[in-house]
Structure formats: structure tokens, C-alpha cells
Structure 1
Amino acid sequence: MKEQRVELPKHIELDKTPIDILDSIEKVEYEPEMSEYDLSFICGIIKKYRPQKCVEVGIAGGGTSAIILNAMYNYCENSEFHVVDKSKEYYHDRRKHSGFLGRQAYDFLSPKKDFKIKYVEHLGNVLPSYLDEIGNNIDFVLLDTVHILPGEVLDFLAVLPYLHVGTIVVLHDVTLNSISYGKKNDVATGVLFNSVVAEKYYEINSHDAMPNIAAFKVTEDTMKYIMNVFGALCQTWSYLPSKKELDAYNAVINKYYGKLYDYYAKICDTNAKNLNNISLRDKATLIGKLLLNRASSQYRIRNN
């Protein structure tokens, strides 16, 4: 084979300055759910590309949202920031709403005279349910949701028609399955990063052995070779979205991807059958154990 030049991921200059917003909001355990390196990578992206419409999907308590909002305040005038989470309640503390720290950051920054950012929360449903409301020409997307398949792969397929050439997509936890014990199924963002055709950003020479955050820039080839991402959905799913959630994804994919929808529908059906069969096997195994325990108990009773 003829020797060819390998296209390596590009470098992003880190910027940790916007992280200082954490000093002005509530201190909460587990928040933000990213390392300083990961957060500095995101802020570096925002500083470099100055996006005017940003979307964060999967916000938890909103610690990362607060930092993104501060980065936008520093670098993106007259912009808008949409945060999306399927849960209205913060999963670590159901008394709080998802993204409450992002709202605190907004309340702190918005009184400033030069603050010109539209901040919108979309809580209680999956991403495709809000895309028409968010609108086209999204410049920046952060996908950081369930990490197990189909997860962020489905989210990207849903949001891609609302992006444009040059949009930056950031993916968190791209190596979580390798660097964290007990997370072997957390592969969704890594699978997406490695299957999408785009201009990629990843620090292969980082001080970290395997950095856990990556990004890519949408190009003309991203849609041209989107079959690669649909093919990634053929990997074994770890969960099945609810009917309501799947209906929302199906509507977007049917609308924008033409004949690929039939292929996608077959993938969904196959994984649904596999997951249902696993569920039935699990139930059968549980029933078998219960019956065995019951038989063992009766045997002990009879022999005492």
C-alpha cells in the first residue's frame, strides 16, 4: 500500500479563566462533573471559535453550564445558550432542579451592563423534542448524557440537521469505559467520536494518558459519510429509550435522513428485540433462583 499522511487530531489552547465563576455560586459536591482539564478544553474551544448559539445536552446540576455561560460572557457577545436535560430534577438531590447552578451563574452575571446572552432551559424531555424551538444554525454543542448506547449517538443524529459546516461538537467521557472501573458499557461518546467524519480535536500527547474529552468540527463530509454513525448504532445497546423518547428521535431522523430511516428503524427493532430477550432471560433466571431458594428452604424444613 502506498504510504499516506495520517491526519492527526488538532490542538486546542486550554483556557481556565472562566472557571472562576465557581467562586460566585453555591459550592456543591460532584459539581461540576468534569476535571479542570476538561473544563479548560471547553473554554478554549469557546475562546477560539466565539460561538453565537450554544447548546449543552445533559446538564446535571449545572456546574459546567455556569462555566460555559461565563466563557460566553467573556468571548461571545449577543449570543444565546440553550441547556437541555430530560430530567427536571437534579439526580443527586431531587429537591433541586436540573441546572440550578447555571441559573445561579446567570443571576450573578445578567445584571452586568455588558451581559447580552439569552439563556434558555429546556427540561423534562429528550433533545429532539426541543430542536425546533432552539432552531437552526447552532454553532456549538456539548453532548454529555448517559454515555451508554444508543445515548449520544442518537442525540448527534438528531441535532446534526440543525448544525452547519463549522459547528463544533464537544463530547465528554470519550474514554470513560477504559479509565473508570465498572464503566465498560460507557462507550457512546467514544463510539461517536471514532465513527464520525469531521475535523477532530483531541490531545493525544496530553499529560493524561487518555484524555476524557474530545471535539470535532462539522465539515461537508460529516453528512456525506453519516452512514458511519448510523452503522455505529449497530453496536449492542445497553438500554432502550421509552416509546415517547424514540418517537421524538424517529420523527427527526425520518424527516431529515430519507432512505436511511429504514435502515435506522431495523437497527432499533433489532436492539429492542435483543433487550426484550435479555429482560425475559433475566426474569427467568430470577424466577429460577427464587424457586431454587424456596425448594432449598422446604428441604431444610422437612429435614429438621
Structure 2
Amino acid sequence: MKLVRWGNTGTEHPGLLDESGQIRDLSSLIDDIAGANLSDEGLARIAATDPANLPIVAAQTRLGPCVGAIGKIICIGLNYRDHAREAKLAEPKEPIIFFKATSAIIGPHDPIEFPANAEKVDWEVELGVVIGKTARRINPAQALDHVAGYCIVNDVSERAWQMERGGQWDKGKSADTFAPIGPWLVTRDEVTDPQRLPLWLDVDGVRRQDGNTADMIFGVAELIAYVSQFMSLHPGDIIATGTPAGVGMGFAPPVYLQPGQTLQLGIQGLGTQQNRTQSAA
């Protein structure tokens, strides 16, 4: 299934993408794409519903982030071999963990705003793993059973704040609008192998990133198990699994975003995002 959240910011409703690509309103069945509705049982209840019996949502309706009530966004740094090479850094021996504030979350087509004094705003297309069942100290063989599904995350970053303001990555990762999520939550049964997914990103029509999740240093199952050793993972938590080569910081000289540009990014089977960049009001 492909699940969405639609409507105005902060008051999104749950929806289902039918086979023709139309959004169907799930509000009569569930309150949100969140919490217990992300469990195997919750998803099975949604899957048992005939979309033809659900109201159609207007095609021009805004899409919000595809998961509601997200408790935390756990990000993995330097998790693609080619990205480590372009950063001129050694491949990590263990996953590098940092966080994005949930206040950074926006919909997949909402504007990305540059905060005041931002100098080096960069892009990062990433596979997001949405947790569906609480995970505590699990092993990799159990890990994928705890996944509700997958989505696209753009780990927008202010590199000067990330790298030049005392070494705390979270500073450069958590500005408002720096976490576009969606358009869809694609349930795990539709993703045969999360380690064989092409992903890409364009800036103003120019291809900047063109990678594949097969290039991850630590795969999805290993990441879930690893993170669960240090913290509980709860339904609705998202792990952003790292980005391939082609980020602006990796060019010589670096190429950073400016207000008025258009980002398009996608992952095979998970849809596409499109965002305009603008200065914050």
C-alpha cells in the first residue's frame, strides 16, 4: 500500500493511494497514519478496505508528511561508500548517529526556507525507514519485522552550522523546513529489497545525486538493530539511512542552494518530492 496524509499543515487527514493514483480518504477508518495504525495489524485492517468504497480526495490537495506523530528522526552519517569518498573521510567502523528535530518536518512539496544567516544550504536524498513495532535491543534477523514501510527523506543541511559551529551536527540539520518527508509511506510488503533501490536528486533540472541503496555501508536491517541497542524505537520513528555522493559540499568548489531554486528527488517505487527554496519570512 501507499499511504499519504493530506490537507492543511497541522490538520492533515489519512489517505490511501489507489491503483489509479487517486487519493482515497481513510478518515472513516483511522485517525492518522501514526502509532498503532503502523503495526502489522493496523496496516492489515487498512489493506482489507476496498478503496472504491472510500471518498476521493481532490487531486490538487496538499500532501503533508506521510507519517504523523513522529517521535524522533534518527539520521545516519557517511553511510554510502561513494559519499565517504567524496567527503575524503574513512568509512566508519560503526554507524554515525545524529538527530533532526521533528520541528523541521514538512510535506514533500512544501517550500524549503533558508533561515536568517544561512550560508551553505545543502541537499541529501535518503531512504527513510518507518518503524511500525517497538524495537529494543533486537538483532538484524528480527529487524525488518519492525518496519511499517519506507519513504523519502531530504536531509537538508546548513553545512556551516553543521561543521563550523562547534561540531554538533544537529545544529545544521534541524532548521524549520529542513526535513521534507514523503510523498508516500510505502508498506514493507511492496519493497522486495530495500538494498536495491535507485535514488536521485536534481537541482534546477541538473542531476546532482544518482545512487543506489546497494552502496550503503550499513544496510537497513543492521541499522535498525544497531540503533535499538542505544534507544527504543517506537511506531512512527524514522531512520534516515544516509545519502549517496553528489551533495553540494562534495563539489570543487562546493555548490550550495540559493533561494528560488527547485529540487526534485526520488527513490524507485517511493515517489518523488519537489520543493522550491526561499528565504524565510
**TM-score, normalised with respect to structure 1:** 0.25
- Select the structure of larger CA radius of gyration: 1
Whose RCO is larger (CA < 8 A, sep 6+)? 2
In terms of fraction of residues, the more strand-rich structure is 2
Larger helix proportion of the pair = 1
What TM-score do the two structures reach when normalised by structure 2? 0.26
